[in-house]
Structure 1
Amino acid sequence: MGDKVEIPMPNGRPMNGESKGPVAGSSVDEQTHENIYLFVPNLIGYIRVVLCIASLYFMPLHPRRCSFLYSVSCLLDAVDGIAARQFQQSTRFGAVLDMVTDRCTTTCLLVFLATAKPAYSMIFQGLISLDLASHYMHMYATLAMGGQGQSHKNVSADRSWIMNTYYTNKTVLFTCCAGNELFFIALYLLCFSSPKITPALLPPVGGSPVTPANPVPSLLFPSPFSAGAMEMARANKMDSTVPWILTAASLPIMLVKQWINVLQLVKASQWLAEGDRRDRVSVLSEKKARKLQKRQ
């Protein structure tokens, strides 16, 4: 979901001003031999990766198992941030691991939705592109313009009060990220339950409902991994009432999250353009100064 890990400054102090760096008086040797990979929040990050891989394994045919594993992985995204602050183990590696895991899991789910609903694949592909582009541009702009010690969460209110609220207010951040993931999970569940989303789930006229145990002979496929066979295996897996409720409830939050992604992309682009203009002014000024020196 969101990126909960604070990136510390080079002097050991994190960007929010709390004292989370190395303990005063500890030697440099002790600091440099710490095993960053075994920090508690990073261990939680590895568990998230394992859960995500497991959810992908169950994604084609087992919606309940997949949704449970995927949801636990998303919730652990909040836990690793709490652990980082509690154990004073905020690291750049953890922040990047957190963000990469978020981007990859959401992308994998959207890829499934694009394949399950090819008529809307362009929409899902656009959402994937927007998510990756906005976060990459924002991270790159933060590093290029703010310096290596700058956290991507430190967006000044002068630059964008919406982005500032999004990254500094943990309630807003959690609500937006959780609601966004919930919408895609609910849409995923509808692929196994709703004839409106998946017409193949409709029962044949004058016959009994289509189920894996009672398939329509004309729709049988020799390969169990073919698209048609998966459609048959998904037939009538669950009731669609709860997924529809979750979809309707989380839709506004998902739209807000996508709007924030667009805003993040625009603001990052503007920030980079400001830096380019300053660099060009500096280069032109140097050239003018050299010409004056040559004339003199």
Structure 2
Amino acid sequence: MSSVRTRRQAAAISTPKTPSPAPRMNGAAMKGNGSAVGRAKADHPPENIFLFWPNIIGYTRIVLAFASLYYMPLHPRTCSLLYSISCLLDALDGYAARRFEQSTRFGAVLDMVTDRCTTACLLVFLASAWPRWALLFQGLISLDLASHYIHMYATLIMGGSDQSHKKVDKSRSWILNLYYTNKTVLFIFCCMNEVFFIALYLLSFSSPLLSPSLLEVNRAGDAGSTLQPGTPSAPSAFIFSNPHSAAALELARANKMDSFWPWVIAGISFPIMAGKQIINVVQLVKASRWLAEGDNEMRRAAGLPRKRSMK
């Protein structure tokens, strides 16, 4: 018996035990999801959001907008062409975002900021071209910026960081729901809004009715404008030492533009531009009320207002 026991002990010592397989742990059970996250990062490396196609189109819009601002005081045709292309690319970046699945929050903010800034710059020029209407143009700038800022802020605070500012429930506002969800309606309103202001810009060069200084004669008896430098019809001799320079000739040619088609375009686009301003007012009011609803809920959760005992 002892010899048998000895042989069994020797066999047990000489035969290595097979280690039992370690229990599998899913990613959630791992501390910090170490290996799972590592594999995920290896499979999907971080993308360069700034080089997405929609954002590249957005950068192109900014470059074109700056170029149009450079030509704005003296070259109305070149400025209008560059500005129009920049605005039309606004529709292309949305298509690219859907086509390449590259919709990002950065792209949405870039698009909105570009729209607001380009329109504001054009309205600033119009305010300088027609000082009598400067208050109106300043009001349109303020309404545009305030409306979109409060709407974006209310969406992030009340709707959550994952909700798009273009996702407006019909129960909250049917007009905003139609404006943001129907791409055709959105394009028409945004396009005609910019077209109206471009038409006004062209009329500042071509219409003596709106810019009577185009036909004024200064005190010295020389034909020219009495407006201050920087306005569309400022005298070329005051800006350029050589009256035959390319810029001076372009200015003289611009002041001889036919105002018929700018008047037609302004007349057609005016009702839609006015509708766009009404939408801005509705957006401002609805977003403000949405924020007020959130404030009321927060105050109720905090037990405010506290009832103070009457002495």
Question: TM-score, normalised to structure 2's length?
Answer: 0.76
Partner of 1:193: 206
Matched, 1:240 2:245: no
Which of the numbers 217, 229, 243 marks the counterpart of 1:226? 229
Matched, 1:264 2:269: no
Partner of 1:84: 97
Partner of 1:159: 172
CA RMSD of the aligned region, Å?
2.5
1:234-291 deviation line (CA, Å, top 9, x unaligned)? 5524110110000000000000000000000000000000000011111117979xxx
Kept in 2: contact 1:219–1:228 (CA 8 A): no
Matched, 1:283 2:273: no
Kept in 2: contact 1:110–1:184 (CA 8 A): yes
Structure 1 residue 93: deviation in Å?
0.8
Partner of 1:171: 184
The 1:228–1:34 alpha-carbon spacing in structure 2 relative to 1, beyond 3 Å, is: closer
CA–CA distance in 1 between the matches of 2:296 and 2:71?
A: 50
Structure 1 residue 218: deviation in Å?
6.9
Alignment of structure 1 residues 38-77 onto 2, 5 Å: 38-77=51-90
Partner of 2:131: 118
Kept in 1: contact 2:126–2:137 (CA 8 A): yes
The 1:284–1:30 alpha-carbon spacing in structure 2 relative to 1, beyond 3 Å, is: same
Larger radius of gyration: 2
Kept in 1: contact 2:205–2:211 (CA 8 A): yes
Partner of 1:15: none
Corresponding pairs, count: 252
1:132-159 deviation line (CA, Å, top 9, x unaligned)? 0000000000001001001001110000
The 1:107–1:220 alpha-carbon spacing in structure 2 relative to 1, beyond 3 Å, is: closer
Partner of 1:8: none
CA–CA distance in 2 between the matches of 1:243 and 1:54?
A: 22
Structure 1 residue 201: deviation in Å?
1.6
Partner of 2:163: 150
Which of the numbers 222, 234, 244 marks the counterpart of 1:217? 222
Unaligned runs of 5+ in 2: 1-38, 237-250
Kept in 1: contact 2:204–2:232 (CA 8 A): no
Partner of 1:100: 113
One-letter amino acid of the counterpart of residue 34, structure 1? E
CA–CA distance in 2 between the matches of 1:72 and 1:232?
A: 29
Partner of 1:11: none
The 1:283–1:40 alpha-carbon spacing in structure 2 relative to 1, beyond 3 Å, is: same
Kept in 1: contact 2:128–2:134 (CA 8 A): yes
Alignment of structure 1 residues 6-45 onto 2, 5 Å: 27-29=40-42, 31-45=44-58
Secondary structure of 1:151 counterpart? coil
Structure 1 residue 190: deviation in Å?
0.1
One-letter amino acid of the counterpart of residue 118, structure 1? P
One-letter amino acid of the counterpart of residue 97, structure 2? A
Structure 1 residue 219: deviation in Å?
4.8
The 1:228–1:88 alpha-carbon spacing in structure 2 relative to 1, beyond 3 Å, is: closer
Matched, 1:251 2:270: yes
Structure 1 residue 231: deviation in Å?
2.5
Kept in 2: contact 1:220–1:228 (CA 8 A): no
% identical equivalent positions: 63
The 1:218–1:195 alpha-carbon spacing in structure 2 relative to 1, beyond 3 Å, is: closer
Unaligned runs of 5+ in 1: 1-25, 205-209, 289-296
Secondary structure of 1:196 counterpart? coil
Secondary structure of 1:65 counterpart? helix
Question: TM-score, normalised to structure 1's length?
Answer: 0.79
